Amino acid sequence: MGSPKSVKIGTVTIGGGAPIAIQTMCSTKTADVAATLAQIKAQAKAGCHVTRVAIPNKEAALALSAITKESPLPIVADIHFDYRLALMSIDGGAAEVRINPGNIGAKERVAEVVKAAKAADIPIRIGVNSGSLPQNLRHLPLSEGLVQAALDEIKVLEDLDFSAIKISIKATDVLTTVKAYRKLHTLCDYPLHLGLTESGTLLNGAIRSSAALAILLSEGIGDTIRVSLASDPIKEVLVAKELLRSLDLYQGGVVVHACPTCARCHGSVWQMAEKLEERLATFKSKRTINLAVMGCEVNGPGEAALADMGMAMKGNKEAILFVKGEMVASGPEEEIFNKLIEKVENYYAEKM
Ligand code: SF4
């Protein structure tokens, strides 16, 4: 569902019924072109659709053209305060600029950025954050303040006859974020970028982001997501991908199911499952492949009957390979692990 209106960030359509796009943001110094490009390439390999770089200074803005020329992903330039950095970024090939018109300053400065965005035919993301809410809105309940800030910013751009707009209104709190986006969704039809701000470290951040985003996405709210984590951006992409996949909003790649283990367990299920996940994290396929790692050969394959295939431990560092619950091979754990990988790669890899 999502928003009726759409924008294009490079080749990626956001909104208008397009698939939900996954975004992340580089953690490298933007001025370090080689490190930033290496990270963007890894993000793309992990399944990211759009990435963002911060442009805190002139060096970063100047580095942007070298990055956009080589980048496999469209790049959003993130600018605060200095409109000249936005202009330089647009010149440098940014596929979108993220600004907060409220902190760019005088109207003429916003108008300059809008003029350049129009000429380059790129959208602007209005990024409202709970931490930087305008003074005049701080008396409101936070969710209402976020929505009002977004509406005020939309008006600034619309008054300049600009409509290639995408909006985010992020809070750190799950329920505030949900409330704010629900409200904004009823008041405007521009595409929405969903996310929590400062959601936390890998485990907590993934849980809190998933809680908020799953509620909104299942109500048809949201067109693109960023799972913001105090962790490697590649992890952000993998968490976002898994979140979308679990809501049936993303097809492809591998999901590893694993039993929790119990007293019947005959092997190292947790480690094997992690190893499998790591090995196939960037695997590309047209439909989602369900794999299972189970702790015992008797109950395991039956419990994982819905998996496409998997391995079950049988003791003495041996395991069986099963396909749709039926055993097809038996042998040392490592050998079965490799056979499983081989089967996945032979049968399901998307032909590029
Ligand atoms: S598959 Fe076997 S080891 Fe794993 S939880 Fe079930 S019974 Fe226990």
**Distance from C-alpha of 300 to C-alpha of 261, rounded to nearest angstrom:** 10
Query: Is residue 289 over pLDDT 60?
Result: yes
Pocket of ligand 1 from Cβ distances under 6 Å: 259-262, 264-265, 294-296, 299-300, 303
Work out the average pLDDT over 6-30: 98
- What mean pLDDT is reported for the chain? 94
Among protein residues, the one with the nearest Cα to ligand 1's atom 1 is 300
With bands split at pLDDT 50, 70 and 90, how would you rate the model's confidence at 194? very high
pLDDT of amino acid 280 = 94
| Total structural domains within the chain | 2
Give the model confidence (pLDDT) of 83-99 as tens digits: 999 999 999 999 999 99
CATH number of the domain residue 265 falls in: 3.30.413.10
With bands split at pLDDT 50, 70 and 90, how would you rate the model's confidence at 347? confident
Ligand 1 atom nearest residue 312's Cα:
1
Q: Report helix angle 233-246 to 202-218, nearest 10.
A: 40
- 16 and 81 belong to one structural domain: yes
- Look at residues 219, 246, 273 and tell me which one is the last residue of a structural domain: 246
Give the model confidence (pLDDT) of 41-65 as tens digits: 999 999 999 999 999 999 999 999 9
The CB density around residue 108, as the number of other CB atoms within 10 Å, is: 8
Lowest mean pLDDT among 131-135, 162-166, 208-212, 291-295: 131-135
pTM (predicted TM-score)? 0.93
CATH number of the domain residue 107 falls in: 3.20.20.20
Residue 255, H or E segment: strand 254-258
- 209 and 289 belong to one structural domain: no
Residue 197, H or E segment: none
Ligand 1 atom nearest residue 304's Cα:
1
- Look at residues 246, 281, 302 and tell me which one is the last residue of a structural domain: 246
Ligand 1 atom nearest residue 260's Cα:
5
Q: Ligand 1 centre and the CA of 338: distance in Å? A: 22
Q: Ligand 1 centre and the CA of 296: distance in Å? A: 6
Domain extent at residue 93: 6-246
Determine the residue type at 181.
Answer: Y
- Look at residues 246, 277, 307 and tell me which one is the last residue of a structural domain: 246
Contacts of 266 by beta carbon, 8 Å cutoff, 6+ apart: 295, 296, 297, 313, 314, 315
Q: Ligand 1 centre and the CA of 304: distance in Å? A: 10
In-domain check, residue 148: yes
Query: Is residue 349 over pLDDT 80?
Result: no
Ligand 1 pocket: which of 268, 297, 299 to mutate (most atoms <8 Å of CB)? 299
Query: Is residue 105 over pLDDT 80?
Result: no
Among protein residues, the one with the nearest Cα to ligand 1's atom 5 is 261
- 174 and 84 belong to one structural domain: yes
Q: What percent of the chain has pLDDT over 70?
A: 99
**Distance from C-alpha of 252 to C-alpha of 110, rounded to nearest angstrom:** 41
Ligand 1 pocket: which of 257, 264, 266, 313 to mutate (most atoms <8 Å of CB)? 264
Strands 224-226 and 254-258: unpaired
Q: Ligand 1 centre and the CA of 163: distance in Å? A: 55
Query: Are 283 and 304 in contact, with CB atoms under 8 Å apart?
Result: no
Alpha-carbon distances, residue 132 vs 32, 97, 123, 128, 184 (angstroms)? 28, 18, 22, 7, 18
pLDDT of amino acid 351 = 53
pLDDT of amino acid 298 = 87
Query: Is residue 184 over pLDDT 60?
Result: yes
